[in-house]
Amino acid sequence: MDFEPWMLLVFPLFFGMGWLAARIDIKELITESSALPRSYFQGLNFLLNEQQDQAIEAFIEVVKVDPQTVELHFALGSLFRRRGEVDRAIRMHLNLVERADLEEDRKQQALFELAQDYLKAGILDRAEAAFQGLHGTPYEKEALDFLLEIYQKEKDWLKSIDISQRLTALTGEQHSKEAAFYYCELAASELAAKQTDAAVVHLEQALGVNPQSVRASIMLGDIELAAGRTSQAIDIWKRVEQQDAQYLPLVAERLLQAYRQNGDEAAGVALLQGYLQKYPSLDLMNVLFAVLVQRDGAEAAYLMVRNELKRNPTLLGLDKLLEARLLDIAGERRADLELVKDLIYQRTRGLAMYRCKHCGFKARQFYWHCPACHSWESYSPRRSEENGVAI
């Protein structure tokens, strides 16, 4: 592009306009800053120096001088809640909720914060009411998550199911696995009250929302076995292989018991041996070990464990191998083997635990619901050593 002389006039004009705009912005900034109370700047200074207590007191003075400082109300309320001063947080957020001059979106934000204050304080009925009041707002999804947390704490499984359905409708994310567990909890309550028919209905509902629900199948099989319908129980527990084969160790003892009641223990042993070949498992091996010792003798149990240890070497398997050998050995050699077994047992105690994959909590028994982090189905049915987890 060719240079034109008139362009020399444009540059000073643009420079002058920029200078004027900057002067106006600086003037407005100075005006706004001078309108802020001195306590505000003191509070900022305390925060910069990590003196939170003094900062809070300074900001409270700002709120007293200028009640219109909404953002400061929110900041103080959240800070109070994090510090555990929940009563002060409640007063701060409740004041915002009750202000008639506050915009609707700000009131919704204040109500969301107030609901969290109530939850932190353990006032669950007020927290529930506040979260329910956020239906149709931008905070609805988070409110539903908190409501689900409340209902699980209260063991209100029907409401938990309703919230999981609302979350699915709102977000499109499936909550079928959790809903199945809620139905299983309802079934467990009915069984405790000896209402077997109602329990069966809930378990069928669990399988309806999640056909892969192993827990529902195990519970249905237990009901059938208790009623003397052993063949039906066996058929139900066999489904676990298609649902999730890693849970077969949880039904191994049950299957063996049902086959015994049918007078066909050999078929039960053969079934479990087939499972062990396809799905190596320490717990399956332990069940077979016990029945083989009783039925076929220590040597048969020893050979089974030895073959399995060659195929799937573990310290827990070695401990079982030594146990098998100790069954038919005596004298000084037995004392030596017992010493070795004791040393291995001390080493493997931690390896025989079940472990939550979410929080790492370890337990000697299997849980469907982690007692530490309250996650559903977060425990692997395999022992820690099998999952490659160190002691």
DSSP 209-230: H-TT-HHHHHHHHHHHHHTT-H
Other CB atoms within 10 A of residue 135 CB:
12
Residue 354, helix vs strand vs coil: strand
Report residue 356: phi and psi, to 5°. -75, 130
Residue type, 317: G
Say if strands 362-363 and 354-355 run parallel, antiparallel, or are unpaired: antiparallel
Q: Where are the alpha helices (DSSP H) in the chain?
A: 7-35, 38-48, 52-65, 70-82, 86-97, 104-121, 124-132, 140-153, 157-171, 176-192, 196-209, 214-226, 230-238, 240-244, 249-261, 265-278, 282-296, 298-311, 315-326, 332-348
105, 256, 298 from 324: Cα distances, Å: 71, 21, 6
Is 184 a known ligand-binding residue?
no
22, 127, 335, 336, 341 from 347: Cα distances, Å: 74, 48, 19, 17, 10
Cα separation of 186 and 180, whole Å?
Answer: 10
Residue type, 383: R
Cα separation of 191 and 197, whole Å?
Answer: 9
Report residue 328: phi and psi, to 5°. -130, 35
Q: Where are the alpha helices (DSSP H) in 227-331?
A: 230-238, 240-244, 249-261, 265-278, 282-296, 298-311, 315-326
Buried b (16+ CB within 10 A) or exposed e, 42-57: bbeebbeeeeeeebbe
Is 370 a known ligand-binding residue?
yes
Is 359 a known ligand-binding residue?
yes
Q: Which two tokens stand for residue 139?
A: 């905070």
Could you list the residues known to form a binding site for Fe cation, using ranges: 356, 359, 370, 373
Binding residues, by number, are: 356, 359, 370, 373
